[in-house]
């Protein structure tokens, strides 16, 4: 036993978990503002779901095994096949367009590196039933919204938009058949940062036409330009650029695709997605158009750290009740009542001295210390705001039913101490 998790797996101690929570809150809030509804699926799926639908790269990274019932199963490496499977089986019960989101933990056996792990959380937003460019625009607008909520803007990140169907036409025109295509797309996907010499070597006869295509930057793709207009109308035009170099590694994309990168280009993609119109039908469902994206927590956390955008303040309960040994009963009564009243309250469960209890209150990051000292017998309590060290007095009394009344009530404390 080393005390360490497996390579590529992460422990989230409370400070890291608090940073993760900030990210989740922004994801949930952006989903809510754009009208996406939350769903969840199983962590374990049949291996076949991925071998058939995800494309070679992800299949090579699967955690898979035989379960005790002799089934070939895999930990989910992405959410899209599960989403498509769920929608294919139940879509008749939902009005279109279906707009759902989820924040699954995903598993890929990748080489661990900065922003890449063997598990990560990924915010997925997907839309089914809308074939127009409004769908991609809506998704891009939603992801920009989340960045905005986290304090990031178009100076920090860029949405690079491309068109997979444009590439399909291009490759067909240059004699690349269906069998060769996945390999060529994978090569294109990995050209980021390659020199002209390396590009020539990797692309062979396609190198010239590809360079030429890149110069045009997809201005001749109607689909791509329609998405650009939609995003502009939603107010996020300056977040986007056309970039035909984005082809996406996954097999199921059929139309406009996009990736979000840090402007400085130092990190791997923060998010990626696009249109995957054929997937639902392949999973035995109806032929419904679909679009979506996934945004990972790991690269995003790196970016936030780099921009010095702090996570949430680490804190336990808001109110810490500090008591003299003889006032313990009243203190516990107060803790219980505060909690039932919707406040977060904590105390020292041991028998620490007054000073030690106050130290614990500070160490736990509480805002208030409610002081139950000797004057409690006369109906008086102390209240201290720990950060400002300001102190005041409160009155308490017990009602006939046993309820404890505090005056002023906790909701008023900021006013009386401030
Ligand atoms: P993806 O591009 O494979 O797309 O992943 C989306 C994002 O998840 C990446 O941009 C990255 O931020 C994060 N990510 C992926 N792998 C890792 C990893 N090993 N460690 C840390 N973060 C990672 C998909 O998965 C598609 N299913 C997205 C989608 C949804 N397309 C349509 N709907």
> What separation in Å is there between the alpha carbon of 38 and the centre of ligand 1?
18
Q: Do 82 and 49 touch, CB atoms closer than 8 A?
A: yes
pLDDT at 311: 66
CATH number assigned to the domain covering 14-306: 3.30.930.10
> Which residue, judged by its Cα, is nearest atom 6 of ligand 1?
294
Task: Return the ligand 1 atom nearest residue 115 CA.
Answer: 21
Backbone φ and ψ of 278, nearest 5°: -90, -10
Asked whether residue 40 carries a pLDDT value surpassing 90, the answer given is yes
pLDDT at 176: 87
> Which residue, judged by its Cα, is nearest atom 26 of ligand 1?
294
Domain limits, the chain:
14-306, 319-417
> Which region among 142-151, 192-201, 339-348, 400-409 has the lowest average model confidence (pLDDT)?
192-201
DSSP letter for each residue of 126-167: EEES--STHHHHHHHHHHHHHHHHTT--TTTEEEEEEEHHHH
Q: What is the mean pLDDT of residues 10-27?
A: 93
Helix, strand, coil percent content, the chain, rounded in steps of 5: 40, 20, 35
With a Cβ cut-off of 6 Å, ligand 1 is lined by: 78-80, 108, 110, 116-117, 120, 122, 124, 126, 250, 269-273, 292-296, 298-299
pLDDT at 313: 64
Asked whether residue 216 carries a pLDDT value surpassing 90, the answer given is no
- Please name which of 179, 143, 180 lies closest in space to residue 161, comparing C-alpha atoms: 143
Task: Return the ligand 1 atom nearest residue 260 CA.
Answer: 10
Assessment of whether the complete model's pTM goes beyond 0.85:
yes
> Which residue, judged by its Cα, is nearest atom 29 of ligand 1?
293
Query: In the numeric block, which tokens belong to residue 41?
Result: 């699926």
> Which residue, judged by its Cα, is nearest atom 25 of ligand 1?
78
Task: Return the ligand 1 atom nearest residue 300 CA.
Answer: 12
Asked whether residue 381 carries a pLDDT value surpassing 70, the answer given is yes
CA-CA distance, 17 to 14, in Å (whole number)?
Answer: 5
> What separation in Å is there between the alpha carbon of 120 and the centre of ligand 1?
9
> Which residue, judged by its Cα, is nearest atom 24 of ligand 1?
294
Q: What is the mean pLDDT of residues 210-219?
A: 76
pLDDT at 205: 86
> What separation in Å is there between the alpha carbon of 274 and the centre of ligand 1?
12
Q: Do 240 and 257 touch, CB atoms closer than 8 A?
A: no
Between these two residues, 167 and 99, which has the higher pLDDT value? 99
Three-state SS at 212: helix
Q: Is the dihedral of CA 53, 58, 59, 65 positive or negative?
A: negative
Beta-carbon-side half-sphere exposure of residue 54 (alpha carbons within 13 Å): 24
Asked whether residue 418 carries a pLDDT value surpassing 70, the answer given is no
Q: What is the pLDDT of residues 235-282, one digit of tens each?
A: 999 999 999 889 887 778 999 999 999 999 999 999 999 999 988 998
**Selection from 173-177, 315-319, 403-407 with the highest mean pLDDT:** 403-407
> What separation in Å is there between the alpha carbon of 46 and the centre of ligand 1?
20
pLDDT at 185: 83
Q: Do 93 and 87 touch, CB atoms closer than 8 A?
A: no
> What separation in Å is there between the alpha carbon of 6 and the centre of ligand 1?
21
> Which region among 54-68, 127-141, 220-234 has the lowest average model confidence (pLDDT)?
54-68
> Which residue, judged by its Cα, is nearest atom 9 of ligand 1?
271
Q: Do 263 and 241 touch, CB atoms closer than 8 A?
A: no
| Neighbour order of strands in the sheet with 64-66 | 44-46, 72-75, 64-66
Task: Return the ligand 1 atom nearest residue 122 CA.
Answer: 8
Packing angle, helices 207-216 and 196-203, rounded to 10: 120
Residue of 58, 111, 120 to test ligand 1 pocket, by largest number of atoms within 8 Å of CB: 120
Average pLDDT score over the chain: 92
Quick one: fold of 319-417? Rossmann fold (3.40.50)
∠397-398-404 over CA atoms, to 5°? Answer: 85
Three-state SS at 55: coil
> Which region among 71-80, 158-167, 177-186 has the lowest average model confidence (pLDDT)?
177-186
């Amino acid at each position: 036993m080393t005390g360490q998790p497996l390579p590529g797996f992460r422990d989230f101690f409370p400070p890291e978990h608090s940073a993760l929570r900030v990210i989740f809150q922004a994801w949930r809030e952006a989903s809510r503002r754009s009208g996406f509804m939350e769903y969840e699926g199983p962590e374990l799926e049949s291996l076949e779901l991925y071998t058939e639908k995800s494309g070679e790269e992800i299949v090579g990274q699967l955690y898979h095994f035989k379960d005790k019932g002799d089934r070939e199963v895999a930990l989910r490496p992405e959410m899209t096949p599960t989403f498509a499977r769920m929608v294919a089986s139940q879509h008749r019960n939902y009005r279109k367009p279906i707009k759902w989101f989820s924040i699954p933990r995903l598993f890929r056996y990748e080489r661990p590196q900065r922003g890449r792990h063997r598990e990560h959380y990924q915010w997925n937003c997907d839309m089914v039933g809308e074939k127009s460019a409004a769908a991609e625009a809506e998704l891009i607008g939603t992801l920009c919204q989340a960045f905005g909520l986290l304090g990031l803007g178009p100076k920090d990140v860029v949405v690079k938009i491309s068109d997979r169907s444009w590439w399909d036409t291009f490759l067909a025109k240059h004699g690349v058949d269906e069998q060769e295509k996945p390999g060529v797309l994978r090569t294109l996907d990995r050209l980021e940062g390659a020199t002209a010499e390396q590009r020539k070597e990797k692309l062979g006869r396609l190198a010239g036409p590809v360079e030429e295509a890149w110069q045009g930057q997809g201005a001749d793709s109607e689909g791509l330009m329609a998405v650009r207009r939609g995003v502009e109308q939603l107010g996020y035009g300056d977040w986007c650029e056309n970039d035909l170099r984005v082809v996406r590694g996954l097999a199921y994309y059929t139309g406009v695709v996009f990736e979000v990168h840090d402007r400085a280009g130092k990190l791997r993609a923060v998010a990626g997605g696009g249109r995957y119109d054929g997937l639902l039908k392949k999973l035995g469902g109806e032929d419904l158009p679909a679009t979506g994206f996934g945004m990972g927590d790991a690269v995003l956390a790196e970016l936030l750290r780099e921009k010095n955008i702090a996570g949430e303040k680490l804190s336990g309960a808001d109110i810490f009740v500090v008591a003299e040994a003889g006032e313990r009963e009243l203190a516990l009564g107060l803790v219980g009542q505060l909690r039932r009243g919707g406040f977060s309250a904590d105390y020292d469960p041991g028998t620490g001295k007054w000073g030690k209890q106050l130290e614990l209150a500070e160490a736990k990051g509480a805002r208030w210390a409610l002081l139950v000292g000797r004057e409690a017998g006369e109906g008086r309590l102390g209240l201290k705001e720990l950060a400002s060290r300001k102190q005041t007095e409160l009155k308490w009394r017990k009602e006939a039913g046993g309820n404890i009344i505090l005056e002023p009530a906790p909701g008023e404390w900021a006013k009386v101490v401030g």
